[in-house]
Structure 1
Amino acid sequence: MKTRKLFGALALSFLASSVMAAVSPEEAAKLGTSLTPVGAEKAGNAAGTIPEWTGGLPTNAAPKAARGFVGNPYAGEQAEFTINAQNFEQYKANLSEGQIAMLKRYPDTYKLPVYKTHRSVGYEQSVYDRIKTSALNTKLVDGGNGLENFAQSRVVAFPIPSSGIEVIWNHLTRYLGGNVRRTLVQATPQTNGSYTLVHFEDEVAYPNLMDGLDAEKSANALLFFKQRVTAPARLAGNVLLVHDSLNQVREPRKAWVYNAGQRRVRLAPQVAYDGPGTASDGLRTSDNFSMFSGSPDRYDWKLIGKREMYVPYNNYKMASPDNKYSDMLKAGHLNQDLARYELHRVWEIEASLKPGERNIYAKRRFFIDEDTWQILVSEHYDGRGQLWRIGEAMQYHSYEVQVSGNAAETLYDIIAGRYLAIGMNNEEKQPFQYGHRAAAAEFTPAALRNAGVR
């Protein structure tokens, strides 16, 4: 049964008063007791279809797959049932409007194979400690568009949220394992299924994990991001550099691009909000990256509440290095035979464009996993109020390094019948690499030319 409830009467009282304050020590004491250390409900649901959280998968949950990729701890499981265009009515209480639209748009091929629910996500104790500190100290400033007293270490700003803006900040500050280097692939299939792969080398670094970073420059820094295109040849050598801030109203995102053909570094103010995404064929905006990224200042954020929903989860099968990209990318949508959905509790928030602000999306809905604070499903509406694009993050947990990520992120254009898929890593030489120290000098405009050498 679909449930829509706010996190107790206390949350309502907070909404009616101030959303700027950190929680009290009494509230923070719930983390690790009635709540999990990240702020999820520890108990299972009344029906027994969502289990109690007991710490997540151990770091040795399954043998390694090929090339050191994470193994599938649920390889022996079979789908309990499949939701399709013929039977979705009996499950619609636990589906989003976007999921139903996809079932109707592709009645013969799009489906949701539903498996037993596992609360697989667990992090290191040091992460939990920092989250509790954040709960006690982090505050919203400038109308919710910035953070104050935040630890600057991707640890969830508001584990006990009381407003929609706090929930979206939790997605923006969720734990992603610290600095990471990764090779990944993007595709934008045509309606007939044909596509060209775009290959990227990405690096993400955080201010507290960087050497040589000026203290003044790091005071408002959230993260540093560098992305180099390695294929196809016409795009190879182009590099994007982004400096994201904790308060993008006070200090907007800074971005630069190096164009290998022109051999020039230029400021890139378009890499924000609804500016076009890199090599996306117009199928995503800059703020569609990572399901939602950048400043939240152009929207009013409404907390709808919590609900139980069938969402992409534990997609080890899709993330397997045994898959070829051609196995995954099909006409209209990903190969749903490789997908896995489970029933989980999610936070639902709705973003409405503020009067006088501009974005191609007038309204957006996000469904955010309580155990990771990752957006798992998104819906984007145009200026006429018509559902336009539906996003899915095909979540799985890299238990060996205790980091949750995605086998792929998709953004489906329900009107055009095309989609974008990004983040695939299956055919690459190695999985993502976590834990290195980054040098601030590598994340400067001056360093882009060297990074772009073909």
Structure 2
Amino acid sequence: MLRTLSALLLAGLAVHAQAKVDSAQADRLGRDLTPLGGEMAGNAAGTIPRWEGGLATPPANYQPGMHHPDPYAGEQPLYNVSAQNLAQYKAQLPIGLQVMLEKNPDYFLRVFPTHRSAAAPQRIYDATQQNALGARLISGGNGVEGAASGIPFPIPQNGQQAIWNHIMRYRGDQIRFVTNQAAVLENGSYNLLKLERDIYFVYGRDGMTTGDLNNTLFYYKYKILAPSRVAGSALVVQETIDQVLAIRKAWRFSRGDRRVRRLPMLAYDSLQPDTNGLATADVVDSYNGAPDRYEWTLKGKQEMLVPYNSYAVHQQGIPYENIVKSKHLNPELLRYELHRVWVVEADLRKGFRHPFGKRRFYLDEDSWQILAVDLYDMDGKLIGLQESHPISYYEVPMFGSTLETIYDFKGNRYFVDGLDNNEPMYDFNADLKRTDFTVQALRSGGI
């Protein structure tokens, strides 16, 4: 049974799907609520501390371009959770993570002291305050208007608003980064695929107005760097906000025939290339794209053990084979903490099909980053788990995942993305512009 924040809160939130909060509620932001809508106070047990602004500045030993030094490197785990003591902690674990522990006797969670490190620039906080009164869902919940930056619904009234908070959370103005991904088979074998990625954010950009958005969330492209047999192939995506009004546009340059082709559909349940069938288009970033194929339910808030402050697995020079193990990631490099999360359930609407007939999302109250997802098939059987292992990119500041996984319980395999330990670090000041994300740019870049 989920322990909701309070029955009174949920009663107030369920009044009307499209209703905005009043000024008295909005004034709570920055007072008893954090600027993005989390509870400012810690919990009664003292195991979750008060939010004090997060990690908004780099530590003294940080230099630009470094893999982020771990501000908590000296800490030791409070305890471990494994199949042997699972019963003691079940109420605080996503169901998918419980199954992970039951299926893998060698797997365990290292649980550390909780640090509420999520932070964002002041302008994001200011925009969020305005959004609380001005943002609203449109197109049956498939779009958002009245917001150009910040969290659109910091005091969510329904599940759609909560998932839009994740989709539209701040991730910088632009990023260039190189990461590796791998589909790990049942026997533990895998091949790394190295990608150079660029993202140019439109929503959330400094100085952006609602009139400038033109229904655009961001532009994205990647170029395959290795292995050599596919190096040079590339993809460009123009991501819309309301994808029912105007679908996501995507083009792929194939090294094999040196042609650019428009992809007819790169959304919902279409499979991502080079993932061995493990990843659908909408599992990138834990969830992305239009919410129209699911019914969304805001279940409340709960204290959960989730991935957080995952600096240890992010450090420079760790061989990828030390991270990517058979069946799961190396638990010795992962960090879990107790945090309050919003729980949102998504049930597939009648008339649609998807490998995931139901999903249960766990969203960080301080950043709106999805931290874990329970995945169910069309028959309601639990078949998988997604996890995001986040850090505070304190030089921005921005809180986001450094590593993402999706576990397939049926096939005893998993997909991991974000391996960056032996690559240049994320560049949040990359010289990117909108014209870098056109078909012409894709063609000229490939040639």
Q: Distance in 2 between matches of 1:210 and 1:81?
A: 41
Q: Distance in 2 between matches of 1:175 and 1:208?
A: 8
The amino acid across from 2:390 in the alignment is Q
CA RMSD of aligned residues (A): 2.0
Distance 1:251 1:231, change over 3 A: same
Q: Which residue of 2 aligns with 1:440?
A: 434
Q: Which residue of 2 aligns with 1:9?
A: 8
Q: 1:21 is matched with which residue: 19, 22, 26? A: 19
Q: Where do residues 67-82 of structure 1 align in structure 2 (5 Å cutoff)? A: 68-82=66-80
The amino acid across from 1:201 in the alignment is E
5+ residue gaps, structure 1, are none
Q: Any idea what the Cα deviations from partners look like across 1:323-355, whole Å, max 9, x if unmatched? A: 111110000000000000000000011100011
Q: Which has the larger displacement, 217-226 or 114-123? A: 217-226
Q: Which residue of 1 aligns with 2:417?
A: 422
Q: Which residue of 2 aligns with 1:50?
A: 48
Distance 1:67 1:144, change over 3 A: closer
CA contact (8 A) 1:183 1:201 kept: yes
Q: Distance in 1 between matches of 2:415 and 2:229?
A: 19
Distance 1:52 1:356, change over 3 A: same
- 1:134 and 2:128 equivalent? no
Between the two proteins, what is the percent identity of the paired residues? 42
Q: Where do residues 310-389 of structure 1 align in structure 2 (5 Å cutoff)? A: 310-389=305-384
Q: Which has the larger displacement, 217-226 or 192-201? A: 217-226
Distance 1:268 1:85, change over 3 A: same
Q: Which residue of 2 aligns with 1:113?
A: 110
CA contact (8 A) 1:62 1:72 kept: no
Q: Distance in 1 between matches of 2:280 and 2:237?
A: 15
CA contact (8 A) 2:5 2:301 kept: yes
The amino acid across from 2:365 in the alignment is E
Q: Any idea what the Cα deviations from partners look like across 1:378-409, whole Å, max 9, x if unmatched? A: 11111121111201111111112211122310
Distance 1:149 1:437, change over 3 A: farther
Q: Which residue of 1 aligns with 2:84?
A: 86
Distance 1:216 1:442, change over 3 A: farther
5+ residue gaps, structure 2, are none
Q: 1:191 is matched with which residue: 186, 189, 214? A: 186
Structure 1 residue 282: Cα displacement: 0.5
Q: Distance in 1 between matches of 2:391 and 2:3?
A: 25
Q: Which residue of 2 aligns with 1:35?
A: 33
The amino acid across from 1:116 in the alignment is P
Distance 1:83 1:208, change over 3 A: closer
Q: Distance in 1 between matches of 2:65 and 2:163?
A: 35
CA contact (8 A) 1:210 1:440 kept: no
Q: Distance in 1 between matches of 2:96 and 2:141?
A: 28
The amino acid across from 2:370 in the alignment is I
- 1:64 and 2:62 equivalent? yes
Count of residues paired in the alignment: 445
Structure 1 residue 181: Cα displacement: 0.9
The amino acid across from 1:286 in the alignment is A
Q: Which residue of 1 aligns with 2:406?
A: 411
Q: Normalising to structure 1: TM-score of the pair?
A: 0.94
Q: Distance in 1 between matches of 2:358 and 2:236?
A: 28
Distance 1:264 1:112, change over 3 A: same
The amino acid across from 1:433 in the alignment is D
Structure 1 residue 371: Cα displacement: 0.8
CA contact (8 A) 1:56 1:122 kept: yes
Secondary structure of the residue that 1:68 maps to in structure 2?
coil
The amino acid across from 2:233 in the alignment is N
Q: 1:292 is matched with which residue: 277, 287, 291? A: 287
Distance 1:67 1:13, change over 3 A: closer
Secondary structure of the residue that 2:184 maps to in structure 1?
coil
The amino acid across from 1:149 in the alignment is G
Distance 1:272 1:3, change over 3 A: closer
Q: 1:144 is matched with which residue: 116, 141, 144? A: 141
Distance 1:62 1:197, change over 3 A: farther
Secondary structure of the residue that 1:156 maps to in structure 2?
coil
CA contact (8 A) 2:131 2:153 kept: yes
Distance 1:315 1:355, change over 3 A: same
Secondary structure of the residue that 1:284 maps to in structure 2?
coil
Structure 1 residue 35: Cα displacement: 0.1
Structure 1 residue 100: Cα displacement: 0.6
Structure 1 residue 295: Cα displacement: 0.8
- 1:272 and 2:270 equivalent? no
Structure 1 residue 147: Cα displacement: 0.7
Q: Distance in 1 between matches of 2:203 and 2:47?
A: 40
Q: Distance in 2 between matches of 1:197 and 1:62?
A: 34
Q: Distance in 1 between matches of 2:395 and 2:272?
A: 31
- 1:260 and 2:255 equivalent? yes
Q: Normalising to structure 2: TM-score of the pair?
A: 0.95
Distance 1:379 1:81, change over 3 A: same
Structure 1 residue 206: Cα displacement: 2.0
Q: Distance in 2 between matches of 1:210 and 1:406?
A: 20
Q: Distance in 1 between matches of 2:87 and 2:351?
A: 39
Q: 1:391 is matched with which residue: 386, 409, 428? A: 386
CA contact (8 A) 1:7 1:162 kept: no
CA contact (8 A) 2:54 2:118 kept: yes
Secondary structure of the residue that 2:367 maps to in structure 1?
coil
Q: Any idea what the Cα deviations from partners look like across 1:206-238, whole Å, max 9, x if unmatched? A: 236889x9x999411111111111111222111
Q: Distance in 2 between matches of 1:205 and 1:247?
A: 18
Q: Distance in 1 between matches of 2:170 and 2:212?
A: 22
CA contact (8 A) 1:210 1:438 kept: no
Q: Distance in 2 between matches of 1:121 and 1:209?
A: 17
